[in-house]
Each structure stands twice: as structure tokens, then as C-alpha cells.
Structure 1
Amino acid sequence: MASMFDEDNYYVPQLNRHFLAFPNPRFAPDEGLLAYGGDLTPARLLAAYRQGIFPWYSEGEPILWWSPNPRLLLFPEKFKVRKSFRRVLRSGKFTVTFDTRFSEVITYCASVPRKGQESTWIVPEMKEAYIRLHEEGFAHSVEVYKEGRLVGGLYGVAMGKAFFGESMFSLVPDASKVAFKALSDVLGSKGYDFIDCQMKTDHMVGLGAEVVERDIFLELLEETVDKPMDFGSWQHFKWEYNDGE
């Protein structure tokens, strides 16, 4: 089996296209690079998420698979709503749907510029792979509207009672936060254990996400991935802000 080495001289194996097996993420370096190569078929992506692994790479690179330590998780009951954001939610100027415009959401996530980020990791083959996952009932989107116009949203993958957040976008202030709040509220009401936010950002920590050691995350994941999941379209999911929290 071919391999490469990262900057710390850690052996990084190449995945075999004919087998879905991944190296044990518990033994990956803290940076998280675990393997490279393989493909983005639904079967491989689902096998990866089941083990706390996700793809992340740029145009011109091989597919890179990651499981960083620590991990950032949002437990739905711990979402933080600051006073300024509470006023936004109370205003009623945003409305939310689920799974109605997945392709547009992922396209915006790939194209809307981000501060400090020169290019997107949502390359065309990545976009196509998650659209396939959506069509098969595993990947989901949240759409946020203002005056009838799509202005924000997010997408990710659900497995068991875990949701793996992948990316979000905003065309107006607060739109992505509204999407994340709506997702957290609905998943919390349905008994989801956590939303995986992958790597630490100040923005997510400000919303209540917590840093968790990878070994603990993997233990939580093992407990939740086999729980009954909400398979198929989420278009029937409804959300309205409840100020009685």
C-alpha cells in the first residue's frame, strides 16, 4: 500500500479504492491527518463519519481524511443566545426551512468569500458527493430566508443521533447563526446527542460549542451512531423561535 509522510514524519497510508477500511483515528496525530486517496462514494463517506473521520482538501490535492484532536461539539441544550442575537430572533425577520434547497446551499457555501480564506475546500467532486448523500437521505440542509430571499444556511450529515456540520454561509448578518440555532433546537427536540463542529473556532465557541478530547468524542460517537435516525427528507421539520427558554 502506498503512503506519504506529514511534516512530523507521521506515516499517512493511501486508501484502497476497493476497501472501505480506515486507520484507527485514535492513533492519528493531533493535527488529524489520517489517510489520503480513496473516493467520495456514499458508502465511503458514511463509513468515515461513523468513525469520526471527514474529508477536507483543496483543488489539485488528493482526497485527505481527517480526525483532529481535540474536537468541537455543540450539545443542543447548551446553545448560547446573547441579548443582541435574542433581539434578532424575536424580530421574526428570518424564516427557516429544511432540505428544500440543498444544492443552492452547498453552492453558496463553496462560493461565498470567507475572511482569511483564499479558496474553498468544497471542490466540484466534493459538492457532487454531498448532493448524492442528500439524494440518498443522509445529508441535510437548513435554509434561512429574509423577505422571501435565501440569505443563509448550512449543510451536514446525520447518522444515528449525531449531526456532522460541514459548512455554512451568510449573505446578511446573523443568517448563518439563525440556521445553526434552528438546527440545534430541532435536533434537540428529537433527542440528538450533539452537533459535530469539527475544529475549534471562536465563533462556534461563542455559540456554546465545547472542546472535547478526541477519545471522548469517539466514545460518544460509538454510543450514538446506531440509534434510530431521521432518514430521508427533512422538509417536514418546522422551527419557530421560542422565547420561553
Structure 2
Amino acid sequence: MNRLTADDLVYGYINGIFPMADADGTLYWYSPDPRAIIPIDTYRPSKSLRPVLNKKAFEIRIDHDFQEVMRGCAAPREQEKGTWISESIIQAYTDLHHLGMAHSVEAYQQGRLVGGLYGVAIGSAFFGESMFHCVSNASKVAFHALIETLRERNFKLLDTQFMNDNVRRFGAVEIPKLEYIGRLRKAVVEKNQFVESELMPVFQRVA
């Protein structure tokens, strides 16, 4: 499967699966067991991040430049040989963004995008996909802003898919797939919005 649509993404997420691309662009769907999630209510910024937040060194914007965030996440990284974010994935998520269901949280300095993350919101579930930074702490501050938004909007589930060192530092835990599906089914049927208006970007100064 090499072609991906916004409808495919919605169907996948509500059924607990998500796509990733191989180096040749071939798409595969995944449903890990156990599943990694970040408890929204128990997240706390690390001691080292708190001074950064207090300095308010970053301007946080939501949905200001979604595709550029995706391309930042897709850029080659020193510790990784390739990227799972293909052009087909970028296009499908951009289409989903235009439908008001995929969102980006972005960190700026002097008007320049220096980090951020993107994911999908369905009901009261947010499915985190990837993050990037080109300035130290930018993605961490964007994640902090994500958590604040999820709390304000009364989201119930923050899915991070696989456990790794990056999500572990944000408090990620693993739960059995069956438990995840149960939480997912409750969350996606709730009426909720990630931003105040799906037609207008939200601007914040949280850090």
C-alpha cells in the first residue's frame, strides 16, 4: 500500500492502528502491544525544563504551519538512518489537517520555526505522531504546550504508540493493547475540539 488518504487515517486511528512508511515508501499499519500512552493528568515538566518555561524564550503557535512541522519531523536525523514520514504520509495528514483533525504545536524564536510536534485529535483522544527541534528545548516546550491544551480541553487519552527514551522522559507508560482499545473507544466518541475554532489558529505565549 503506497497511497494513503485522510479517510484511511481516521479509520485507522479509531481502530487502534497507524501507518508508517519504509525507506522505499511502502506503507504498513501498526498496532503495538503493549501500547505507550502519556497520562495527561500526571505529566509534570522536568526540573531542567522549568527555568526554560519561566524565561518564555519561545512563542507557541497552534496550526500556524502544519506541513512545515511535518517536514521538520521528516528531516534526516543523526541517530536514524531514514524516516518513516513519506510524501504520501505528509499529504494525507495535511489533508486531515485541512479537515480540522490533524494539528501542530509549534515553537518559534524571532518569527522562525525552531521546533514542534504534530498529531491527530478525534473526540477526546490525541494521537501524537512526531516532534522535532533545531534549537535546544523547543520540542519540549511545544510538548508542554500540548499538555496544557489537552487539559484545558478535557482530553482523556494521549497516545504515543511505542515506548522509547523520548516519550519516557515525558512520563509515558505502557498498557496492554486490550486496555488501550477500551480507553480508545470511550475517548473517540466524546464531543471535543482541540482548538476553539477549527477554522482559526490559536496563538499562545506559554514559554
TM-score bracket, normalised by the shorter chain, equals: over 0.9
Deviations 1:118-176 (A, max 9, x none): 11111111111111111111110011012322100011110010000111100011111
| Aligned residue identity for 1:194 | L
Give how far 1:235 is off: 1.3
Which residue does the alignment assign to 2:88? 125
**Alignment of structure 1 residues 34-49 onto 2, 5 Å:** 37=1, 39-49=3-13
1:69 equivalent to 2:37? Answer no
Q: Is the 8 A contact 2:96 2:102 kept in 1?
A: yes
Could you state the TM-score of these two structures normalised by the residue count of structure 1? 0.79
Give how far 1:207 is off: 1.2
> Judging changes above 3 Å, is the alpha-carbon distance between structure 1 residues 168 and 234 closer, same or farther for their aligned structure 2 residues?
farther
| Aligned residue identity for 1:197 | T
Deviations 1:5-28 (A, max 9, x none): xxxxxxxxxxxxxxxxxxxxxxxx
Rg larger in 1 or in 2? Answer: 1
CA distance in 1, matches of 2:166, 2:26: 29
Which one is further off, 171-180 or 77-86? 77-86
CA distance in 2, matches of 1:59, 1:209: 27
| 2:172 corresponds to which of 191, 195, 209 | 209
> Judging changes above 3 Å, is the alpha-carbon distance between structure 1 residues 123 and 38 closer, same or farther for their aligned structure 2 residues?
closer
CA distance in 1, matches of 2:110, 2:2: 43
CA distance in 2, matches of 1:118, 1:138: 30
Could you state the TM-score of these two structures normalised by the residue count of structure 2? 0.92
Which residue does the alignment assign to 1:147? 110
Deviations 1:38-64 (A, max 9, x none): 741111110000011000121325320
Q: Is the 8 A contact 1:140 1:234 kept in 2?
A: no
Give how far 1:204 is off: 1.2
1:240 equivalent to 2:195? Answer no
Which residue does the alignment assign to 1:92? 56
Deviations 1:81-127 (A, max 9, x none): 1211101111111110100101111111111x334311111111111
Identity of aligned residues (%): 39
CA distance in 1, matches of 2:50, 2:103: 25
Which residue does the alignment assign to 1:183? 146
> Judging changes above 3 Å, is the alpha-carbon distance between structure 1 residues 200 and 233 closer, same or farther for their aligned structure 2 residues?
farther
> Judging changes above 3 Å, is the alpha-carbon distance between structure 1 residues 146 and 224 closer, same or farther for their aligned structure 2 residues?
same
Give how far 1:238 is off: 3.5
Runs of 4+ in 1 over 6 A off after TM superposition: none
> RMSD value over aligned CA atoms?
1.6
CA distance in 1, matches of 2:27, 2:167: 26
